[in-house]
C-alpha cells in the first residue's frame, strides 16, 4: 500500500495543476474543440452539522450542467467530507496540466483564520479556530502555486461565506426576513491576489457576507452566474461585472461580489458567431 499523502502535499499538487502562464485569447470551445481540454472541478457543500446551508449542492449541480453544455469536462462533488475534498483536488490535479482552461467552482462555507483562507468540508467540527486549518482546505495554497503550469488559464470561483461559520447567526435581509448567511459574523476572508493569468472571483467583497438563497433553489450569486455563463462572446470581466451589479441590486448592497484578476488574454465561456470573445 502506498503511503498516504499529507493534506498540504495534496493541496500543493492540486494548486500547481491549476496554474497558468499567459496565452493567446481564449474563446469558448466549439463542438469539435474537445471538451477534455477544458476541465472543471465543481464542489457544493451544504450538509454541515453546525451551520447547514440549503443551496450549495443545487448550485454546484446547476453550474456543472451549464459548464458541460459549454464543452467542459466536469467533475461534480457534493457534500464532501475532508478525505473526499482532498481526493477531489488530487484527482483534478492529475488531469489539469493537459487542459487549456482549468476551473474550480466552490459553494459552501469558507473562513479566514489568522490571515489564511479555508474551504470547509461538511465534517469539520472545530473546537476552536486553531482546529480549522487541520480540518479544511487552504485556498492560499492553491493561489501560491497557480503559476506552476506554464500554459493555460485558471478561473477560481468561490461562492462561499467570507466569515467564520462556527459561531452561528443570521442577518436581516433587504426584504426584512431573517436570513442565514454562509458564516457567522461579517469578518471577511483575507485578500487573495491572483497570480498572472488567473482570475479569482468571490461571491462577496472583503468584509461582506454571502447570502444563502431565499427562493429555495440557488444562492443569489449562483443564480446570476448561471444566467450569464452561456452569453455568447461575453468577456469574463464583463460577465462578473454583470453578476456583481445584479447581486448588489438584488440584495440592496448587502452582498457585493468581488474579483481579483491578473488575466492577460481575452477569455469567454462561450464564443460568439465568429468564434471570438467580444
Q: Name, of 53-67, 104-118, 149-163, 256-270, the range with top average pLDDT.
A: 53-67
Cell of 79: 457534500
pLDDT of residue 71: 95
Do 211 and 173 contact (CB within 8 A), yes or no?
A: yes
pTM of the model: 0.81
pLDDT at 267 > cutoff 50: yes
Do 174 and 194 contact (CB within 8 A), yes or no?
A: no
pLDDT of residue 3: 41
Q: Name, of 15-24, 102-111, 112-121, the range with top average pLDDT.
A: 102-111
Mean pLDDT of the chain: 78
Type and span of the H or E element at 3? none
pLDDT of residue 26: 53
Average pLDDT over residues 116-136: 87
Pair type for strands 198-202 and 258-261: antiparallel
pLDDT of residue 207: 63
Do 103 and 72 contact (CB within 8 A), yes or no?
A: yes
pLDDT of residue 120: 92
Segment 231-244, tens digit of pLDDT: 999 999 999 999 99
Per-residue b or e along 203-226, where b marks 16 or more CB atoms closer than 10 Å to that residue's CB? bbbbebbbbbbbeeebbbbbbbbb
Task: Among 3.90.70.10, 3.40.1190.20, 3.40.50.10860, 3.40.50.1460, name the CATH number for the domain at 7-261.
Answer: 3.40.50.1460
Amino acid at each position: 500500500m502506498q503511503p498516504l499523502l499529507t493534506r498540504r502535499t495534496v493541496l500543493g499538487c492540486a494548486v500547481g495543476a491549476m496554474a497558468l502562464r499567459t496565452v493567446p485569447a481564449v474563446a469558448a470551445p466549439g463542438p469539435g474543440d474537445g471538451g477534455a481540454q477544458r476541465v472543471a472541478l465543481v464542489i457544493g457543500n451544504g450538509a454541515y452539522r453546525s451551520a447547514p446551508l440549503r443551496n450549495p449542492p443545487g448550485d454546484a449541480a446547476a453550474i456543472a450542467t451549464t459548464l458541460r453544455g459549454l464543452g467542459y469536462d466536469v467533475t461534480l462533488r457534493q457534500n464532501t467530507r475532508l478525505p473526499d475534498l482532498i481526493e477531489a483536488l488530487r484527482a483534478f490535479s492529475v488531469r489539469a496540466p493537459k487542459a487549456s482552461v482549468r476551473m474550480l467552482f466552490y459553494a459552501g462555507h469558507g473562513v479566514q483564520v489568522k490571515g489564511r483562507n479555508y474551504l470547509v468540508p461538511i465534517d469539520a467540527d472545530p473546537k476552536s479556530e486553531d482546529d480549522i486549518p487541520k480540518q479544511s482546505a487552504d485556498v492560499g495554497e492553491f493561489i501560491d502555486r497557480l503559476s506552476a503550469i506554464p500554459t493555460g488559464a485558471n478561473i477560481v470561483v468561490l461562492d462561499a461565506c467570507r466569515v467564520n461559520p462556527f459561531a452561528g447567526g443570521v442577518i436581516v435581509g433587504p426584504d426584512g426576513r431573517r436570513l442565514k448567511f454562509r458564516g457567522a459574523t461579517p469578518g471577511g476572508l483575507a485578500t487573495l491576489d491572483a497570480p498572472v493569468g488567473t482570475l479569482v472571483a468571490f461571491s462577496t467583497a472583503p468584509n461582506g457576507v454571502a447570502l444563502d438563497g431565499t427562493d429555495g433553489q440557488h444562492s443569489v450569486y449562483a443564480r446570476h452566474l448561471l444566467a450569464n455563463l452561456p452569453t455568447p462572446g461575453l468577456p469574463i470581466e464583463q460577465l462578473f461585472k454583470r453578476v456583481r451589479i445584479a447581486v448588489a441590486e438584488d440584495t440592496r448592497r448587502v452582498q457585493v461580489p468581488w474579483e481579483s484578476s491578473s488575466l492577460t488574454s481575452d477569455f469567454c465561456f462561450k464564443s460568439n458567431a465568429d468564434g471570438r470573445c467580444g
